Structure formats: structure tokens, C-alpha cells
Structure 1
Amino acid sequence: MAYKVTSSERLRPSGAEYETKALLYLMNFRNDSNDIYFFVVDFFNDLTGMDKMGTRLWDMQSKGAKTSSPKAIGKELVTLFKNFRSEIDFSCFLLFMGGVSNTVRINNSLNIFDISNIKPDAISKIKEGLLEESNEKTYIDYDSITDEEINAFLEKVQFIIDDKKPSDYVKSIVKIHPRIIPNEETLNAIFNEIRDQQSSKKNIGVVENITIETSFEALDYYHHLTSSEIKLLVLGRIINRNPFDKGVPLSFLSTLNRAPVEKRKIVLEDCQIALSRALFNKNRADDFWSLFENVYSTISSNPNDDINLIIRKLNPELVQRSIDFDVISLKYFISIVKDGVQ
């Protein structure tokens, strides 16, 4: 098995907003979003999701045009088609678009659809555009393409039409906890930070013409972000600090100083590990954000309370569900939030 990187877009910054929307769609809006951990930028395609072991792949191409014609859609599918034909096994193929012309869909109310929602005339034009673009690309053996292969490919493609603002994509990370969602300006700033980090991955070394034998080898080139990094960025923005910055939160000092001197480093490390587990545990994400909302609102309502009073005022059910924390590490987390929001 071999895969050669071709036609990377490291020199083309246009479309960065749609690439970030596509990333956050993968991260938050699919039934299988929790299975995606790595977001590989400009390697296999504009964006490719990977599971934690780097063996399951969600391949995505993003285009910002608002009224793509069927033929234009066909041309936009060419890199997905290249990967469909490759020796690497991609689980699904996704085309993320700014919009389509009214000649494309059967049911115009569906913004996520497959080939079954595309008009027969439009399908013919999509195939025509795909064939024309394939003939232009040196990385596709045009002469070996068959109608059966194109039909099999199109059956696997999912089409997604963007219908949200940048802020809506960021809100989705903490979607069930409206009291901790920042204002529109901060949400847009977070989106821009994610966009800039995503764009910066295109400048980490030249990957054009690199050949890999397995999909997870792509991670060796660090053209990726992780869901953990993005969650950490959002949390840090909400509490105005990186929760893993070096040093001891001021509100936690009195608790830490009660420990024997030789134990303090271990206590601090244990608290940081517990917070890391809680924040990055995908299976208990709702529990973490629910607890964070409760901590945040309790501190906001009782700004003069110390961390021991705050912990007594938390919802006991939420505390019990947050199994990654013990009482000491929970105090540490409360301290980080308290020092950040005050």
C-alpha cells in the first residue's frame, strides 16, 4: 500500500474560513463526531478526520462558492475521487460547500444529502465536470476511469451545505450550556484562532510528493490539530487563561500549602492530570461542560467566596457524575476558573 501526496494547498490561503467551518462540522455535527480525534490539514485533502489510531479516515473537500453549478460540483469532487481510487481506505467522502444552484437538489430544504437528492440532469453534469477535471490532473490515470467506478464513488459522497455563522460552529462545542457561551465577539475571535492554527499547519514542512505506506504515517508530519487542542483553546478563552499554564492558581495556594512540602509537586501534577482527563474524555464531555457551567455560574454569583465555600454550593449530582475529579483536583479546577474570571 502506498499513497503519494499531490496538489497540497499550502500556498493558497483563500477558503480558510470554509476549511475551519468544515473542521468544526466534523468535530461537532455528525453522529460519529466523537470518533474523530485528529484533523489532518492539507495532506490527503483540504481536511481529513482521523480516529485516535489513525486508521479510520473522513476525507473532506471544502469550497466556498455560494451557487455552485452541477458541473462545478463535479470539478470540486476531483481530490475526493483521487482518494477514492487510492490504496488508502477512506471511510467516507464529504464535500462541504457554501451553496449550490437551484438546479442541483430535488429537495432544497436538505443541507446534508447524498446522490439520491440530486436531480438526474444534475448528476450527468456532475459526472461531466468530474471527468473534465480528472483529465486535467496528472495525479489521476484518466484512461482507466470507468462509469461503474464513478457511480460507485458518487454513491459514497455526502454533500454538506454550510448554513451557519462562524460563531454557531464554536457554540456547538458547548452547545447545551448557554450560560457559559461567550458573546458573539469572543466566539468569532475563537473561530479566527482555530482558523489561524489550522492555516499554520500548511507551513509545517513541504509534504508535496511525500509517499506514505499507512494512513497514520501522515501524523508524523504534524499537519494536524486534535479535538483536545480545540477544546482547550475554547476553555482557555472562556476563563481568560490556559488552564495548564505553569504555576499554582492563587486560589489554590492555601490548599496546596497544607500538604507536606515534599508532596506538593505530586499533588499539583495529580490535579493537572485529573483536569486533563476530565476535559478530554469524549465519553463524558457533557458531564465536564455541565460541571464547568455550574462552577462558572456559582463563582460569578459568589465572587467573594473561597474555593471551599464554592465547592459546597455546587450541584452535588453534577459533582458525583464528574468521575475524573476527586475533591482536591476539583478544588484545583475551581481555583483556575475563579482566578480566570475575576
Structure 2
Amino acid sequence: MSYTVKSSEKTRKSGAETETKALLYLMNLRKDSDEINYFIVDFFNDLTGMDTYADKLWDVQSKGAKGNSPKALGKELVTLFKNFVCDFEFADYILFVGGVSNTVRINNNLNSFGIENITPSAIQKIKDGLIEEAKNKSYIEDTDITDTNINQFLDKVRVVIDDKKPSDYVRTIIKGHPNLVSEEKVLDAIFNEIRDKQASKKNIKVIEGVVIETKDEALKYFRHLTASDVRLLTLQRIINRNPIAQGVPISFMPILNNCPPEQFNDFIQECQTSLSRALFNKNSSESFWALLENVYNLILNNPKLDVNKVFDMVDRDIKKNAKDFDVLSLKYFIALVKDGIQ
């Protein structure tokens, strides 16, 4: 069993924006989003989600066009179909588009749907477009273009219509805490950072023609982001500093000065480890963003308070739910936020 990379491409800015929306859709807007850890850029397809141990793949083809006709949709499905007939198994085949014509859907209120919500006449035109495009591609064998394969493929395809602004997708990262970031320009800046980071993965190395034997081999080409990378970029923009890479926050020095010098490094390492664990723990992301929102607003409203006083004011229930922190590491986190936003 093997997989050959074909049809990798560089993306225009408009296409890059749609791909970032698709990434944030995979990361935050699906019932199975918590399963997805890696987002592989322009390798299997425009974007491919992968779980932590490379057992499952979510395949995404993204196109920003707004009024796709049924035949145009069929043509856009070609790279998903290529992966459907390959040796590797994909858990989902997702066509992420800017919009569709009013002749496609049975229920026009559904923006995420399978073939059950596509009109019979549109289904036939989708098939016509897919067959026409597949025959034009050298990476699909004529013997794979069969009615059986196409019908089985279409039964598994999900069409997702992009119905949100970039800022709305960023709000899904911070789990509905509008008081954390309310300014549209900040949310847009976060989106743009994620977009640029994602787009940069295309320039790492030419991979056209690369052959891999197992799914996890795709990671060795480093064309991927992780959910943790996205959360870190978001936090970094909110508090105006890299919480992992930069040095000890000044606001934490009164606490650190009471530590024996020979224990400085270990103490700081423990605090940073707790922060990393809290930030990158997918199972407690809601608790993390709730904590950040509480700390962020306490500091904005009480800029003269020191770290210890802010710690005392943090909501007791929010503290209890932030299980990756202890007293000192939470004070370290408060100091990071305080230094970043003041």
C-alpha cells in the first residue's frame, strides 16, 4: 500500500483564506473536532486533518467561489475522488465552498449536507462534471472512473458552505468568550496570522511525486500545523507576547525573588510546563479560555493590582476547573497576561 503526492499547488491569497476557514471548521465546528490533532497543508489535498496517531484522515478540498453550479461542484470534487480510489482510507471527504447555486440543495437552509440534500437533477450534473474532470487528470486511471465508484464516493461526500466571516471562525477557537476579544480588527489579525502560517507550509519543500507507505510519513515533510499551534498563535496575539518563548515576566519577579537561586530554573520550568499543559490540553480548552477571560478582564479593570491581588480575585470555580495549574503556576500565568496587555 502506498500513496503518491500529485497535484500539489501554491495558493492565491483568496484561496489561502478559504483554506484557513476550512482548517478552523475542522478544528472547532465538527462533532469529531476533538479527534483532529494535525492539519496537513497541500499534501493529500488542500487540507487534511489527521488524528494524534495517524489512524484517521479527514480530506478537504476548498474553493472560495460563491455560486458553484452542480457541474462546477462535480469538477471541484476531483481531488477528493482521487483520494477515494487510492490505497489509503479517509474517514471523510469534505468539499468546503463559498456557496452554491440555488439549483443544488433541496433544503437551502442547510449549509452542511450530503447527497441526501441534493436535488436529483443536480446529482446527475455533479456526476457529469466529476467524470469530465477525472478523465482530464493524469493522476486518475480510467478504470477507476466507474458508476460504482462514483456512486459510493458521492454517498460519502459532505458539502460545507462557508457562511462565516474570518472573525467568526476565530471566535470558535476561544470557545465563545466574547469579552476576551471583542474588537473585530484583533480577531481579523489572529485569522491572518493563522492564514500566513498555514500558507507558509506550502513553501517548505517541493513534494510533487513523493511516495509514502504509511499515513504518518506525511508528517516528516513538516507541512502541518497542530491544534496546539493555532491555540498558541491565538494566545500570543491576545496577550501581545509569546508565552512560551519569552523570558520570565517582570510582574512575576517579586515572587521569583523569594525562590533560592539554585532552584530558579526548575521553578520556572515547572510553571511553563503547567502553562503548556493547560494550553495544549484539548480536553480542557473551555476551562483555559474561561480562565484567560477572567484574568484578562480583572487586569484591564484593575491595572494597579499586583499578581497576588489578581490571583485572589479570580473566580473560585474557574480556578478549580483549571486543573493543569497550581497556585504558583497560575500566578506565573497571571504575570504573563499582566505584562502582555499593559
TM range (shorter): over 0.9
- Residue 30 of structure 1 aligns with which residue? 30
- Provide closer, same or farther for how the CA distance between residues 11 and 302 of structure 1 changes in structure 2, counting only shifts above 3 A: closer
- Provide closer, same or farther for how the CA distance between residues 291 and 14 of structure 1 changes in structure 2, counting only shifts above 3 A: closer
Between stretches 182-191 and 162-171, larger displacement belongs to 182-191
Please state how far the C-alpha of 1:166 moved relative to its aligned partner. 0.8
Between stretches 173-182 and 157-166, larger displacement belongs to 173-182
1:93 is paired with a residue whose SS is strand
Report if the CA contact (8 A) 2:11-2:199 is conserved. no
Residue identity matched to 1:57: L
- Residue 238 of structure 1 aligns with which residue? 238
Report if the CA contact (8 A) 2:14-2:64 is conserved. no
Cα distance in 1 for partners of 2:134, 2:122 equals: 18
Cα distance in 2 for partners of 1:22, 1:275 equals: 28
- Residue 141 of structure 1 aligns with which residue? 141
Please state how far the C-alpha of 1:10 moved relative to its aligned partner. 2.8
Percent of aligned pairs sharing the same letter: 59
Query: Deviation string for 1:162-191 (max 9, x for gaps)?
Result: 111111111111132111024111111111
Cα distance in 1 for partners of 2:27, 2:295 equals: 25
Please state how far the C-alpha of 1:13 moved relative to its aligned partner. 5.2
Cα distance in 1 for partners of 2:187, 2:311 equals: 28
Report if the CA contact (8 A) 2:66-2:97 is conserved. yes
- Residue 86 of structure 1 aligns with which residue? 86
- Residue 263 of structure 2 aligns with which residue? 263
Please state how far the C-alpha of 1:144 moved relative to its aligned partner. 3.5
Report matched runs for 1:146-157 at 5 Å: 146-157=146-157
Greater than 4 Å deviation, 4+ residue runs: 11-14
Report if the CA contact (8 A) 1:182-1:238 is conserved. no
1:138 is paired with a residue whose SS is coil
- Residue 45 of structure 1 aligns with which residue? 45
Between stretches 169-178 and 116-125, larger displacement belongs to 169-178
Residue identity matched to 1:312: D
Cα distance in 2 for partners of 1:276, 1:186 equals: 23
Query: Deviation string for 1:74-104 (max 9, x for gaps)?
Result: 0100000000111111000000001111110
Q: Show structure 2 runs of 5+ residues with no match.
A: none
Report if the CA contact (8 A) 2:167-2:184 is conserved. yes
2:179 is paired with a residue whose SS is helix
Between stretches 140-149 and 127-136, larger displacement belongs to 140-149
Residue identity matched to 2:203: N
Cα distance in 1 for partners of 2:306, 2:253 equals: 11
Cα distance in 2 for partners of 1:313, 1:144 equals: 64
- Residue 61 of structure 2 aligns with which residue? 61
Q: Show structure 1 runs of 5+ residues with no match.
A: none
Query: How many residues end up aligned between the 2 structures?
Result: 342
Please state how far the C-alpha of 1:252 moved relative to its aligned partner. 0.6
Query: Deviation string for 1:19-69 (max 9, x for gaps)?
Result: 111111111110111111110000000000011112210000001111111
Query: Deviation string for 1:269-306 (max 9, x for gaps)?
Result: 00000000001111011111111111111111211111
Please state how far the C-alpha of 1:14 moved relative to its aligned partner. 4.9
Is 1:9 aligned to residue 9 of structure 2?
Answer: yes
1:285 is paired with a residue whose SS is helix
Residue identity matched to 1:228: S
2:244 is paired with a residue whose SS is coil
